[in-house]
């Protein structure tokens, strides 16, 4: 059973997905990622987001098995990396991810970056995986509106998710509007700007009103605008705090203040060219 405090988003194929999950980028396979995942699951999280490129799928799989949470209650995401793209290579990469995670299915399989010459055939392979039932949903990461339009023109399954960088300095309003119009769920990576939100005065001030941190305000702002979040942490205290965003609501005025912080500022590097 999902935590009572966790809001749920329904994807375009009717699959239910928790609005908040644990991201594990840079978490090491030496016990660090296991500790983070187990802490998150004990705290009420039911979504874990990894990728083959993170090189910690094995640790994530171990943690899920060691936890007391049944696999069917956990929404597990992984991604195909740039060098693994192409039809046949994607099929092989997916099977390798299942082996590393020690599971017979994932809840969501994503294209990590839109490698220009390959993402359409990669997605065709993912449609095959989706039809097999080994991935309950498929989608993409870091796709622009033009790339989404191109992909949808040449595919049969509308991506369930587009996972993109989004935070108070990068509100992605145009992309959010497009996603909503096409029933594509946006999910934010780097939602707390690697901790930078703690030094944004407006977020600190709003936090004081609600007795919350600037991090919690940033996460609440995203979830309240209908965007899923996957904040990364390996610290138990922060993992717990990041999850405590469902016992308050931001007002329209507060939402507008956060919206006004947008600078169209990317913190992450575009890695779509790396093969």
Does pTM top 0.85 for this prediction?
A: yes
CB neighbours of residue 267 within 10 Å: 13
From CA 144, how far away is CA 64, in angstroms rounded? Answer: 33
**Catalytic (active-site) positions:** 54
| Of residues 43, 11, 100, the one with CA closest to residue 241 | 43
* pLDDT at site 6: 57
Q: Which residues pair with 20 in a beta bridge?
A: 229
CB 170 within 8 A of CB 263: yes
Q: How far is CA 35 from CA 22, 48, 262, in A?
A: 12, 13, 34
Distance between CA atoms of residues 5 and 25, nearest Å = 25
E strands within 124-178? Answer: 138-141, 161-165
How confident is the model at residue 269, as a pLDDT? 86
* Bridge partners, 16 (sequence order): 10
- The domain limits of the chain are 8-259
> CA 89, CA 265: separation in Å to the nearest integer?
34
Domain 8-259, architecture per CATH: Alpha-Beta Barrel (3.20)
User: pLDDT truncated to tens, each residue of the chain (275 aa)?
Assistant: 334 445 999 999 999 999 999 999 988 877 899 999 999 999 999 999 999 999 999 999 999 999 989 999 999 999 999 999 999 999 999 999 999 999 999 999 999 999 999 999 999 999 999 999 999 999 999 999 999 999 999 999 999 999 999 999 999 999 999 999 999 999 999 999 999 999 999 999 999 999 999 999 999 999 999 999 999 998 999 999 999 999 999 999 999 999 999 999 999 888 888 87
């Amino acid at each position: 059973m999902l935590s009572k405090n966790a809001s749920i988003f329904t994807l375009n194929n009717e699959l239910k997905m928790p609005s908040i999950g644990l991201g594990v980028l840079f978490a090491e396979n030496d016990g660090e990622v296991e500790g983070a995942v187990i802490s998150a699951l004990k705290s009420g999280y039911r979504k874990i987001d990894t990728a083959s490129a993170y090189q910690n799928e094995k640790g994530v799989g171990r943690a899920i098995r060691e936890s007391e949470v049944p696999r069917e209650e956990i929404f597990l995401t992984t991604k195909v990396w740039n060098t693994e793209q192409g039809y046949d290579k994607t099929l092989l990469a997916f099977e390798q991810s299942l082996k590393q995670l020690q599971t017979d299915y994932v809840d969501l399989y994503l294209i990590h970056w839109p490698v220009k010459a390959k993402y359409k055939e990669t997605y065709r392979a993912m449609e095959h995986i989706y039809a097999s039932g080994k991935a309950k949903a498929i989608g993409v990461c870091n796709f622009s509106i033009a790339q989404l339009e191109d992909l949808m023109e040449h595919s049969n399954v509308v991506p369930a998710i587009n996972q993109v960088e989004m935070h108070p300095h990068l509100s992605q309003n145009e992309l959010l509007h497009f996603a909503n119009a096409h029933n594509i769920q946006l999910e934010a990576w780097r939602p707390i700007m690697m901790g930078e939100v703690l030094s944004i005065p407006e977020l600190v001030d709003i936090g004081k009103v609600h007795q919350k941190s600037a991090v919690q305000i940033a996460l609440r702002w995203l979830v309240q605008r209908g965007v899923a979040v996957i904040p990364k942490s390996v610290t138990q205290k922060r993992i717990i705090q990041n999850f405590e965003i469902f016992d308050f609501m931001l007002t329209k005025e507060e939402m507008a203040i956060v919206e006004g912080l947008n600078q169209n500022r990317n913190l992450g590097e575009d890695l779509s060219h790396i093969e």
